[in-house]
């Protein structure tokens, strides 16, 4: 985020104007609960956040149509999942606008310099120790992550 972003009526255009750049990201999920999981487990566990891996190219949001960025997720060299950013509420900035509106008035807001994940447009992919995931995002680039054996 370039400037802080707050307010009960923020929309996609507000988020895009406030975004300094976008870059490919992978969220490493850490469930912290046993299967089967209920949505309450996910929420209580901080939305299952474990880590973020950033990579690829830094792109200004007006330099490409960020609604149409596609992703491929091969796991251990075999295609596992794919998606397009428009799957995040029609536009990835819509997820951030929703977050800004919901957090308004409770003392939380995306602040200048913070990285904000817009929301996932692929399903989670399980990966075991020793495995690798490659995430290709077209023009914005790619990320590769290897998980060491325990």
CA distance 125 to 105: 35
The string of pLDDT tens digits covering residues 67-105 is 999 999 999 999 999 999 999 999 999 989 988 898 888
- Average pLDDT of the chain is 86
Domains of the chain: 12-146 (3.90.850.10)
Task: Quote the CA–CA distance of 143 and 110 in Å, as a whole number.
Answer: 24
User: What pTM, to 2 d.p., does this model score?
Assistant: 0.79
Residues 6+ apart with CB under 8 A from 136: 71, 72, 74, 142
Q: Report whether 55 contacts 71 (CB < 8 A).
A: no
């Amino acid at each position: 985020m370039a400037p802080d972003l707050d307010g009960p009526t923020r929309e996609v255009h507000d988020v895009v104007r406030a975004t300094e750049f976008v870059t490919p990201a992978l969220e490493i999920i850490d469930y912290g609960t046993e299967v089967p999981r209920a949505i309450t487990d996910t929420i209580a566990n901080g939305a299952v956040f474990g880590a973020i891996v950033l990579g690829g190219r830094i792109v200004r949001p007006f330099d490409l149509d960020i609604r149409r960025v596609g992703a491929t997720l091969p796991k251990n060299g075999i295609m596992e999942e794919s998606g397009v950013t428009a799957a995040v509420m029609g536009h990835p900035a819509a997820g951030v606008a929703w977050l800004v509106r919901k957090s308004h008035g409770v003392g939380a807001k995306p602040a200048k310099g913070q990285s904000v994940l817009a929301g996932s447009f692929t399903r989670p992919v399980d990966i075991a120790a020793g495995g690798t995931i490659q995430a290709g995002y077209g023009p914005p680039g790619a990320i590769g992550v290897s998980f060491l054996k325990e």
